[in-house]
Structure 1
Amino acid sequence: MNIYTKTNIQLGTKKTLAGMQVFFFLFGLFPLFQVSSVFAFDLSNTTVQENSAVGTFVGSFEGGPEYTLVSGTGDEDNGKFTIDGNKLRLNFSPDYENPTDLGDTAGNNTYSVRVRQTTVTGGLDFADIDKSTAWNGDENYRDTNEPINPRDVPANDNGDTEYGGQYNTSNRSNSSAFAVIKPDGSIAAWGNPNSGGSGAPTDSGYTKIYSNSSAFAALKADGSIAAWGNPDQGGTGAPTDSGYTKIYSNLDAFAALKADGSITAWGNPYEGGSGAPTDSGYTKIYSNRSAFAAMKPDGSITVWGNANWGGSGAPTDSGYTKIYSSAYAFAAMKPDGSITAWGSQIFDNTPISGAPTDTGYTKIYSNGFAFAALKADGSIAAWGSPDSGGSGAPTDSGYTKIYSNSSAFAALKADGSITAWGISFWGGNGEPTDSGYTKIYSNLDAFAALKADGSITAWGTSGWGGQGAPTDNGYTKIYSTSRAFAALKNDGTVHVWGKPDSGGDQAQVDALNLNASGGGTVTTTEDQVFIITVTDDPSDNTS
């Protein structure tokens, strides 16, 4: 795999032979990497307004991959903050008139934190692949055999990715074939020949590969497109003109967008392969399992595809800024945090219902059959299939992020405590009762939560990753296939658990002797102290 410099790999697990899956599980996702010399790091912002809620994003650390709050001179206010990846967040709601800062000059609204940056040179890493196998990357598992592409997910103004669960990404991954781009822009493909494992274009100059469940579409710099794979699902019928800038997909169809905002669709005609709008001016396309939704700059929405599953029933007004999706429905949000949903909650065409009627929501998350929306105060509203998390959401506030698998949700608070709901044996209950967790990962049927010390707690379906997590600590990140997890340490140690033929067989990992490749060298910068200043809210007259 290292013969290619750009690895737009379209992988899936549903029909992949176990041997090939294990090969890519362990070799394709463990490229060696080098990190240059460690430099001093900065914080992008050091002020925050009083009355900001717990979990409020303060700023991003810049200059290295891993950051932790540590003890030492300048740590007096560490407990009032948390670090999520490279993001510093509030762990309290500051009051300008009644400051509680202990560091710097106590009681003057200047809060002191001591932070350490850690960099690993060499060793094993999963992060260098544009479209990895079944990994959830930094977020949640999307579908039974369809991973996300974290590098296609834009950042929002909170420093987070916009990805919110199952279907909130622009592409579906191929279930049983692979495709890569070589340095000259030619394409190599393998796997099930009926799904694109053969039939790739023989010319060069391609810059990106897109996929749905059983076909591929490749884009050249001039915006021309070549497609191959299952002819009923978009392997044929691609447009013959040029000028396209991006390709989107659902399970069985593609939709390509031009610079003028016009759209061409192909693939299964009942799932969005026909019926695309004939006008122009669209800026982005969203999809669920069987339909597409396109948005214009004025926030108006046009949909097509399966009529019961979101291909009709879209709102007729404008002003929407973002569309989210479950398997069979869409939910659109306006700047005031109001939400409109349409489609079905499950495949029996039961109309989606129960979306909140109030405003103030900041982000929507989803699993296969339900949505969960988060407000600035960390309160949550859920709707959709009651069994899959459309009901049972926590009634308190203070949550900072929501994670999902196929039929359950798990919400994280700033103190690292977790509340889960949804189908119980898929992780809707059984979550840890302690706190201190910094991130939650998921596969199809289970969750795994990581603490700052690198210890892991898993729950959900026992044989598919809900049990068998490592009992030691020091892990830095977790990855997943549909029914297994892999945890990585900085020294190159890999611990896997879950369904053996989905990558959860530790014996296969041990046989590869991955640590013999040298592990990694951990380098830490000199700790740095940052002063966070709380500013006055003029509308707050509390004294």
Structure 2
Amino acid sequence: MEGVELVVHVALPSGKRATLAVSEMSTVGDLKHLAQKAFLQGFLRLVTSSGQVLMDTGASLQSAGIQTGDQLIAVAQAPKVAATHGSFALWLYGGDKVITWGNRDWGFRRIPTPDQLRNVEHVVATNAAFAALLADGSVVAWGNPHQGGNSSTVKDRLIGVQQLQATVGAFAAVTFDGSVVTWGAAHLGGDSTQVQGQLTNVRQIHASQAAFAAILADGSVVTWGDPQRGGDSSEVQCRLRNVKDIYASDVAFAAILADGSVVTWGHAGYGGDCSEVQDQLRDVQRIQATKFAFAAVLTDGSIVTWGDPERGADTSAVQSRLGRVRQIQSTHTAFAAILSDGSVATWGFNFPDGGGDSSAVQDQLRGVRQIQATGAAFAAILDNGSVVTWGDPAFGGDSSEVQDQLKEVQQIHAAQRAFVAVLADGSIVTWGDPKNGGDSSAVQDQIAQL
């Protein structure tokens, strides 16, 4: 029995409208998909005239109180993406589903059942596991149990979680009372027992490859994990006051203080020692890192680098161009900076192909809006919504096979060896290593129904 036909009026915030006919036996999801087709736009959320958000896509229209003649607003949502070493997870904020694809050995296994994932707000990833933060403050983890995919030992403590962070093999959660819960590989930050007494009033947590750094409410910092990769900040502890933000390479941390200066620790040769440029590190706004070097953007848009000169710390080849930097992105060994005129400057290690040489596509890099990076390749979104890639083809540096699909691109995300682009119509395009996230064909139907 199909039931009575309902006529529902749906409008976008822009004013564009559509009148949809649907059976009263249909679900909220059915109506949403009709709206998405009518507006040629994916990832919509329906809101009633009274302000009620129709979250449960499985609910019938009848149970949701939808009647013929009702006026609904369709609000576009930007999908969220997280990535392990070789797999992706895509979800909508507040939704009840996380779609994953890629290499099963890198987090694409032991996926939670739908009833476990309700109102997903955020997802973070280690190298081989995911952890989802739900609206009720609980956490669901899956993937390799040795790298954070099993949170059963701390499940009772994962209450009122406000923030999640991850190293390559462990997770850290900040709870509502400012305490911290960790799990996963102990040597990669999963064991915080030695500093647990210091982890009070935690404001935020940052991570290197194998260590965590927590900023407390008083601006001080507590670290744990591999001492060779940033887990030991004892040598600079007295200087870690009024810390505003922290950034990390694989093996070192860099903290921006309230006065715009920088304090570093970790592997000295790979960014843990900034003494040679310390006097230049004033009015620092933000920092980006390769695996082995840091690049700081100052208030005036200039750049200061330190760490391994072969892997990003040497800007001599492009120094004359680095005047007004808008954004910086990095592969493992190279940097790419978007300049104020929308062009791009790249530098760093480029053998066999780390992305440091963009000469082959330099004439295409005009009007660049955003840059994303895998381990050895870059992808740039231009103002017209097209994409330019360069770097190692095995890491996504060659997008020629999908270039005709890369139109009206809104955002790009990256795993270690693959990219995923989200288009304006809600579809996604992937490329790079097909075994490690570059092939999303198996989940395209699921994404269309999200």
User: Do the structures match in fold with TM over 0.5?
Assistant: yes
Which residue of 1 is the match for residue 40 of structure 2? 122
Amino acid at match of 1:237: T
Equivalent residue number for residue 430 of structure 1: 358
Of 325, 337, 341, the match for 1:415 = 341
Amino acid at match of 1:437: V
- Shift of the 430–292 alpha-carbon distance from structure 1 to 2, 3 Å rule, reads same
CA distance in 2, matches of 1:150, 1:364: 28
Deviation, 1:442, is 2.5
Asked whether the equivalents of residues 323 and 331 of structure 1 are also in contact (C-alpha less than 8 Å), the reply is yes
Q: Which residue of 1 aligns with 2:25?
A: none
Q: TM-score, normalised by structure 2?
A: 0.65
- Alignment CA distance shift 1:312-1:211 (3 Å): same
Shift of residue 419, structure 1, vs aligned partner: 0.7
Q: Deviations over 1:233-260 (max 9, x none)?
A: 4424215346442333322222232323
- Number of residues paired by the alignment? 360
Q: Tell me, yes or no, if structure 1 residue 212 matches structure 2 residue 126.
A: yes
> In structure 2, do the counterparts of structure 1 residues 436 and 333 end up closer, same or farther at CA, with 3 Å as the change threshold?
same
Tell me which of 319, 333, 352 is aligned to 2:242.
319
Q: 2:161: which partner in 1? A: 245
Offset of residue 277 of structure 1: 2.9
Do the aligned partners of 1:250 and 1:292 also contact (CA within 8 Å) in 2? yes
Q: Hey, what's the Cα distance between the residues in 1 that align with 2:432 and 2:203?
A: 41
Q: TM-score, normalised by structure 1?
A: 0.55
Question: Is the 8 Å Cα contact of residues 35 and 122 (structure 1) preserved in structure 2?
Answer: no
Superposition deviation, residue 427 in structure 1? 1.1
Residue 401 of structure 1: SS of its match in structure 2?
strand
Change (3 A) 1:355 1:326: farther
Q: Compare the two structures and name the one with the higher strand fraction.
A: 2
Q: Distance in 2 between matches of 1:289 and 1:465?
A: 22
Contact 2:77 2:92 in 1 (8 A): no
The question of whether the paired residues in 1 share the 8 Å contact of 2:230 and 2:252 is answered with: yes
Please give the root-mean-square deviation of Cα atoms over the aligned residues, in Å: 4.4
Distance in 2 (alpha carbons) for counterparts of 1:497 and 1:196: 18
- Aligned pair 1:440/2:374, yes or no? no
232 and 322 in structure 1: CA distance in 2 versus 1, 3 angstrom threshold: same
Offset, 1:223: 4.9
In the alignment, is residue 262 of structure 1 matched against residue 188 of structure 2? Answer: no
For 2:238 and 2:371, how far apart are their aligned partners in 1? 37
Q: Does 2:205 correspond to 1:285?
A: yes
Q: Going by fraction, where is helix more abundant, 1 or 2? A: 2
Q: Say if 1:363 and 1:374, in contact at 8 Å, map to a contact too.
A: yes
Q: What are the residue-to-residue correspondences of 1:284-303 with 2, within 5 Å?
A: 284-303=204-223
Q: Is the 8 A contact 2:87 2:100 kept in 1?
A: no
CA contact (8 A) 2:88 2:437 kept: no
Greater relative contact order (Cα 8 A, min sep 6): structure 1 or 2? 1
Match of 1:457 among 374, 381, 388: 388
Alpha carbons 1:144, 1:444 under 8 Å: kept: no
| Cα pair distance change 1:402/1:147, threshold 3 Å | farther
Return the alpha-carbon distance in structure 2 between the equivalents of residues 264 and 390 of structure 1.
35
1:90-489 mapped onto 2 (5 Å cutoff)? 121-123=39-41, 128=77, 131-132=80-81, 134=83, 144-145=85-86, 182=96, 197-198=109-110, 208=120, 211-215=125-129, 223=137, 230-234=144-148, 235=150, 236-238=152-154, 240-241=156-157, 243-246=159-162, 247-274=164-191, 275-279=194-198, 280-313=200-233, 314-317=236-239, 318-344=241-267, 352-353=273-274, 354=276, 356-357=278-279, 358-392=281-315, 394-395=318-319, 396-424=322-350, 425-431=353-359, 432-434=361-363, 435-469=366-400, 470=403, 475-477=408-410, 479=412, 480-485=414-419
Offset, 1:202: 10
Counterpart CA distance in 1 for 2:132 and 2:432 is 34
Structure 1 stretch 488-497 or stretch 404-413: which is displaced more? 488-497
- Opposite residue 290 of structure 2, the aligned amino acid is N
1:51-86 deviations in whole A, cap 9, x for unaligned?
Answer: xxxxxxxxxxxxxxxxxxxxxxxxxxxxxxxxxxxx
SS of match in other structure, 1:372: strand
Q: Tell me how far 1:335 sits from its aligned partner.
A: 2.3
CA-to-aligned-CA distance 1:164-218 (integer Å, 9 cap, x gap) = xxxxxxxxxxxxxxxx9748xxx99999599683395897586546553444556
Which residue is 1:38 aligned to?
Answer: 14
* Offset of residue 327 of structure 1: 1.4
Asked whether the 8 Å contact 1:339–1:355 carries over to 2, the reply is no
Partners of 2:406 and 2:429 within 8 A in 1: no
Name the SS for the 2:228 alignment partner.
Answer: helix
Q: Is the 8 A contact 2:86 2:106 kept in 1?
A: no
Gaps of 5+ in 1: 1-33, 41-119, 135-142, 153-179, 518-543
Q: Give the superposition deviation at 1:297.
A: 2.1
SS at match of 1:293: strand
Q: What secondary structure is seen at the aligned counterpart in 1 of 2:380?
A: strand
> What is the CA–CA distance in structure 1 between the aligned matches of 2:146 and 2:202, rounded to whole Å?
26
Contact 1:201 1:226 in 2 (8 A): no
Which amino acid letter does the alignment assign opposite residue 316 of structure 1? C
Q: Deviations over 1:419-472 (max 9, x none)?
A: 101122221012444443333233332123333334443221144433344389
CA gap of 1:409–1:339, structure 2 versus 1, over 3 A, is same
Letter in structure 1 aligned against 2:126:
N
Asked whether the equivalents of residues 366 and 372 of structure 1 are also in contact (C-alpha less than 8 Å), the reply is yes
Partners in 2 of 1:181 and 1:125 — Cα distance? 11
1:325 deviation in Å? 0.9
Given that 1:298 and 1:319 are in contact with CA atoms closer than 8 Å, whether structure 2 keeps it comes out as yes
- 1:49 aligned residue: none
